[in-house]
Every structure is written in structure tokens, then in C-alpha cells.
Amino acid sequence: MIKPDAVSAGNTGAITKMIEEAGFRIVAMKKTLLTKERAGQFYAIHKERPFYNDLCNYMSSGPIVPMILEKENAVEDFRTLIGSTDPQKAAPGTIRNLFAKSIEANAIHGSDSDANAEIEGNFFFSRLEQF
Ligand code: CMP
């Protein structure tokens, strides 16, 4: 999911180009907006964290671009492509190194397991939209 900071900065095209050049197939993609409540559902796993309320406000502050991506070893390879959560620690040339503004407004989210990729894909897309 490309986050509001990267979408509003006009970096959607540059980021999807990096994703495709890294060998991922974009199976589904759209531009949409989360309400604060929906953002809270998406990040429910973090609801006890001190940054949760700010995260929900930020994630509902502007359009996002969720995608379903396909590749061998996709979860691990995508996490390598995007870099560390904190852009200060993200390796040079990673998406967060290039485009993130802060640890919160960090340009992009990637699923952390195949099981969560399934859940998060279903959060944004119906089966009919995936091909
Ligand atoms: P993401 O990988 O989408 O997963 C949880 C998100 O919470 C993370 O990216 C950041 O946007 C945000 N986040 C994680 N840690 C912090 C933090 N310490 N302070 C603020 N936001 C954070």
C-alpha cells in the first residue's frame, strides 16, 4: 500500500515503476481513501501502541494506493525493496530511503507474511478485482 505522504507527493508512478522493475506483477491496484475507522481496522494489531491514534489519523489523511503483488518469495523480497520502517535506517536505494518523510509517513506498507498478505489483500479487493 502506497501511503498518503507518497501519493500526495506525486510518487505513485516512481514507486510502481520500482516495484515492477524488481520483478513483481501488479495483480490489482486502485486509488482509494480510508476513513479513520477503516484505518484503525487495518492496523488493529497496533491498537495498544502509543502511535496508533496518530497512525490512524495519518492513514486517513489522503488517498492511498493499495496493491496485490505476485512474485516468488514476494513477502521477503518486498520488505527488502521497501527498506526499514524508519527511513533513517532504510538502506540506500530502498523505497523508504528514497521517498519516506518520517517513521510514520514512511511511503509504503508491505505485508509481513503470506497469511497477512491474504488478509490485507481481501481488506481492499474482492476476488473479482484480482486477475
Ligand atoms: P507499517 O510498516 O505500515 O506498519 C505500521 C506502521 O506504523 C508503520 O509502517 C509506520 O507507518 C507506523 N509506525 C511504526 N512505528 C512507529 C513509531 N515508532 N512512531 C510512529 N509511527 C510508527
Ligand 1 centroid from CA 51, angstroms = 7
Report the pLDDT value the prediction gives residue 15, as an integer from 0 to 100: 99
- Structure confidence at residue 128 (pLDDT): 76
Task: Tell me which residues of the chain have a pLDDT lower than 50.
Answer: none
Which CATH number is 57's domain given? 3.30.70.141
What is the Rg, in whole angstroms, of the alpha carbon atoms belonging to the chain? 14
| Ligand 1 pocket: which of 64, 103, 120, 123 to mutate (most atoms within 8 A of CB) | 103
Q: Decide if 113 is inside a domain.
A: yes
Identify whether 101 is part of a domain: yes
Give the pLDDT confidence score for residue 131 in this predicted structure. Answer: 66
Q: What is the domain range of residue 117?
A: 4-125
Q: Is residue 89 part of a domain?
A: yes
Query: Does residue 130 lie in a domain region?
Result: no
Distance CA 84, CA 5 (A): 17
Q: Which residue in 4, 99, 109, 111 is the catalytic one? A: 109
Angle of helix 114-124 relative to helix 74-82, nearest 10 degrees, comes to 80
- Domain contains 25: yes
Angle at 51 between CA 47 and CA 53, to 5 degrees: 65
Number of domains in the chain: 1
The pTM score is 0.97
Nearest alpha carbon, ligand 1 atom 22: 104
Whether 92 is covered by a domain: the verdict is yes
Please give the Cα distance from 36 to 63 (Å, whole number): 12
* Ligand 1 close to Cβ of residue 96 (< 6 A): no
Compute, in angstroms, the gap from residue 85 CA to the centroid of ligand 1: 6
Residue 17 inside a domain? The answer is yes
* Alpha helical stretches, state H, the chain: 4-8, 12-21, 36-42, 52-59, 74-82, 95-99, 114-124
Tell me whether residue 109 is one of the annotated catalytic residues: yes
Q: Is 12 in the pocket of ligand 1 (CB under 6 A)?
A: no
C-alpha 14, offset from chain centre: 14
On whether residue 98 sits in a domain, the answer given is yes
The number of the ligand 1 atom at minimal distance from the alpha carbon of 46 is 5
